[in-house]
Amino acid sequence: MLSRVAERMYWIGRNLERTENTARLINVNASLLLDLPRMVKHIWRGLIDISGSNDQFYSKYDKADEKNVACFMLADESNAASIVSSIRMLRENVRTTREIMPSEAWEQINEFHLFVRHNVKNALKRNAQYEFLDNVINFCHQITGLLFGNMSHSNAYNFIRIGRNLERADMTTRIVDVGCMNLLRRRFEIPETYDNILWMNVLRSLSAYQIYRQHVLDRVNGQDVVTFLMKDLEFPRSVAHCLSELNLCVTRMPKHDHCLRSITHVQRVISEIDVHKLLEGNLHEFIDDLQVDLGGIHTQVTQTWFDYSGSETEIQTQVQEKTG
């Protein structure tokens, strides 16, 4: 397989996952406002923290309120992680690899792109936002299903899986970081009595609440939530599960030694963490280090399988260094 094609498959996986994650985050954050006291004024800032785009955001917007954050994350074409930008790059990468993509997936992505382009401005209004984002999530699910069910599970599809799971692991670590109670109380002045609501929001941001309650019978609390989202091997969005999928995908590829070594290192780190100690004050620093490690996996993937001697303009646009 050409490195050019492999790289585009990888970014198809990342951009599709990023689009879904962004839509879910905004929806859940808006719902959270209904459960928190009126004194909470800066909860939207948390979405900018999660995206890792603070400098870019504040260079363009004066404050992180609902209107500005929604515009930045939904419709701002200068933000590589916005829904508009992610879908544009998703469509472009699929368009240039149509010879190996299912025709149904290409048609669905075109429909998705047109839907977003025609509706995103209206979605900046609060009363239209939920329905728009719900449709975005459904489109992502449909495309993911089409790729899984109609595409040969060869190396090309393997790169989609690698991109998707690396993006998922990165997003989960960011959501857990911002969900840390010490961080939330310091930034948003939320009383401790609202801890369980905030941790429930963390779970819902990852569509994890229902399966968490099935696995953990106790009331929602920070230690159990962090343990579940970091270490559970069966939940698809936990860091441990994403790393397990990455391990499986990379092992099937040629020249995988260095990349596999990076993945197994992070797997070992996750398996050995003491969540109770982390929640006493070191969670933020641990996740910073973990994101550097995930960035290292991204670097290994690009150096091993993608030819950067002739870097393409699209990749310069897409790479939002969230993971390093």
What digits encode the pLDDT tens for the residues 197-250? 888 888 988 999 999 999 887 888 889 999 999 999 999 999 999 999 999 999
Contact indicator for 179, 202 with CB cutoff of 8 Å: yes
| CA pair distance 198, 226, nearest whole angstrom | 13
**What confidence score (pLDDT) does residue 38 get?**
66
- Taking alpha carbons only, the member of 260, 305, 298 closest to residue 156 is 305
In three-state secondary structure terms, 147 is helix
Q: What are the CA-CA distances from residue 312 to residues 10, 133, 155, 281, 317 (Å)?
A: 14, 31, 21, 42, 9
| CA pair distance 274, 197, nearest whole angstrom | 24
Distance from CA of residue 82 to its chain's centroid?
12
The residue ranges of every structural domain in the chain are: 3-318
pLDDT in tens, 96-127: 999 999 999 999 999 999 999 999 999 999 89
Q: Is 164 exposed, middle or buried (0-12, 13-18, 19+ CB in 10 A)?
A: buried
Q: Is 102 exposed, middle or buried (0-12, 13-18, 19+ CB in 10 A)?
A: middle
- Taking alpha carbons only, the member of 103, 66, 121, 88 closest to residue 19 is 88
**What confidence score (pLDDT) does residue 105 get?**
94
- Taking alpha carbons only, the member of 318, 304, 316, 295 closest to residue 1 is 304
In three-state secondary structure terms, 282 is helix
| CA pair distance 203, 226, nearest whole angstrom | 10
Higher per-residue pLDDT: 49 or 183: 49
When pLDDT is cut at 50, 70 and 90, the band that residue 309 belongs to is: low
| CA pair distance 322, 297, nearest whole angstrom | 13
Asked whether the predicted pLDDT for residue 323 surpasses 60, the reply is no
| CA pair distance 171, 47, nearest whole angstrom | 11
Distance from CA of residue 109 to its chain's centroid?
19
Asked whether the predicted pLDDT for residue 316 surpasses 50, the reply is no
pTM: 0.89
When pLDDT is cut at 50, 70 and 90, the band that residue 260 belongs to is: very high
122: left (phi over 0), alpha (psi -120 to 50) or beta: alpha
Contact indicator for 144, 16 with CB cutoff of 8 Å: yes
